Structure 1
């Protein structure tokens, strides 16, 4: 049997770095290796800036895409060296790209993920599958989230109602029901507001071990204001991004008199509630958490409190490392493209039909 080896690359809205995995799909998905490549500080700042409306964006996008492809390629080379594989042994790279805009609800909906995929293929010598979202949007879908199909393949169990929650910059859920049906959508902010707030007040990239949140007290009035946003009243399918939930959005809700630690504690509860409110399902038995949020003890404790009696646990309990689930999902989408299998779930995205997602870029 010829090995089916795919690299998955994911750089999400948290902008904490580039996740890369090597996954073997010869039988069941098997993680062979992984690595995290930090963004150069200047590129991280530029990508964060491009995620919000600004000046001279077209002129700035070109260099950002070039540098991003170089970072992706450096990560691929590091990963292959780490696992002792050669480029010619890899079937393809599945690359999500870096989202800077996601506007699925406009009259002319669009989404934009940066990354010069031709350059990535040229630098690595490996075929690249990318541009996964726009085919779904062409058929009326939200273009996101795209991980539920992978979640179903890995986490679903007949006869059990399960949920998978990915808490990256934005949080998304996959509801895997006992009868085999699946739904899912973006619930709202995951770590993005917490990361931005701790960066502003503690000059830290994220709230390590939930320490900043643990210092604060809940602000009930602020919490209610945050939850009153129109996004949480929308019916699924729905998706969002950092271009909507950012510091400017948060500042509009503040008086300026709040203690920074109290705001951080409230943001943690806000993320937990915006997720838990969407998981109030009868007979929900297990909730698997993946993404950076799994390492935030305050957030995890809030989720367990809000979702009891369901058991809230890391995806590692199902044999999938929580830090690499999304990158594995895009490796899975690349092999689905090669097999000409649908990569979207219309019940999740709202697309008119199931589609093969992606575009192939040859080296």
Structure 2
């Protein structure tokens, strides 16, 4: 049976879709092809708007899910064409969907997590089985439903003789701590904002969807009083398991802290937001794994030169390196993780870590939509 899987990821940065064609034959993990596609501006705007309550949400969300499925299908077709792979050779597509609400354990004790997606439509468009809805089973079992990538980080990066950590900086940042000692559980949790606040501020003031290499942030000065105010958010002091999203770290959250700092130059706010991400991630690592000496960074944040320099500044005893050094480029890690999660679902293998999410036990994640 084929051990080729496609993984698709569109994260909270809302920059578009990353896809990989991965080969898991004989226990190996090898990316055969990678493809990225930006969201059309109107879809990006709608997905961002659906992170907040608004009019006619059910109708708009359904249509946005359809549009997302077509974007996913375009990436799948590009992967197949460029690798000369037939759809029948791929066992399944792992499609994460677009998170627009993430409120685990809230309201009624169970809460919910919501990823816009139309996996049935994607299966119809591609002629390949689709695995989707990865988070809800963990939430149903009392967990956070996030982060889901630590078991993949362990499978791909975990063969080391020393403690290492994997930091994914997408819209939200999450960290995985891998200790080589026998029977030591994998740890993982969300640290706080990754690129989301920086991207939003940059777009508002420059018209660019992100701060290329962090150049704009590097041109500003960190404002310590503002940074102290931002770091007073209770989430940062909360012990894991914990997860977060745009439900908390969004433009209104930033605005409520900025009202006393209205006179600050925009580039100084950007520098302070980059420092917020760097310090919150560094503090999370120092608190949970003070002996860690290697930090592998993936996600779009790994391409932000200024942010990587600030991380290295705050972790002088730790080697901060891009996941590229470990054989998997930063923009391929999460997509590969969802290809791996799709494989686990097809094999009926559990793929959640209760120590990470706080769930009552390990669960098989994902619902399968046959082609």
Above 0.5 in TM-score?
A: yes
Deviation of the 1:54 alpha carbon: 1.7
TM-score (norm 2): 0.96
State whether structure 2 residue 231 is matched by structure 1 residue 227.
Answer: yes
Secondary structure class of the residue paired with 2:34: strand
Deviation of the 1:158 alpha carbon: 4.5
Larger mean Cα displacement after TM superposition, 226-235 or 167-176: 226-235
State whether structure 2 residue 164 is matched by structure 1 residue 165.
Answer: no
1:65-108 Cα shifts (integer Å, max 9, x gaps): 11111111111111111111010000000010000000013033
Larger mean Cα displacement after TM superposition, 13-22 or 47-56: 47-56
Alignment of 1:110-125 (within 5 A): 110-125=112-127
Deviation of the 1:310 alpha carbon: 1.0
Task: Could you list the structure 1 runs, at least 4 aligned residues long, displaced by more than 3 angstroms after superposition.
Answer: none
Structure 1's 128 and 115: CA in aligned 2 closer, same or farther, altered over 3 A? same
TM-score (norm 1): 0.98
Aligned-residue CA RMSD (Å): 1.0
Secondary structure class of the residue paired with 1:279: helix
Distance 2:180 2:32 in 1: 30
Distance 2:48 2:321 in 1: 31
State whether structure 2 residue 247 is matched by structure 1 residue 243.
Answer: yes
Contact 2:105 2:139 in 1 (8 A): no
Structure 1 residues without counterparts, runs of 5 or longer: none
Alignment of 1:257-268 (within 5 A): 257-268=263-274
Alignment of 1:20-169 (within 5 A): 20-27=19-26, 28-108=28-108, 109-169=111-171
2:327 alignment partner, one of 308, 314, 319: 319
Secondary structure class of the residue paired with 1:196: helix
Contact 2:91 2:129 in 1 (8 A): yes
1:162-191 Cα shifts (integer Å, max 9, x gaps): 000000000000000121421010100000
Deviation of the 1:302 alpha carbon: 0.8
Alignment of 1:204-353 (within 5 A): 204-254=208-258, 255=260, 256-280=262-286, 281-353=289-361
Structure 2 residues without counterparts, runs of 5 or longer: none
Larger mean Cα displacement after TM superposition, 9-18 or 173-182: 173-182
State whether structure 2 residue 360 is matched by structure 1 residue 360.
Answer: no
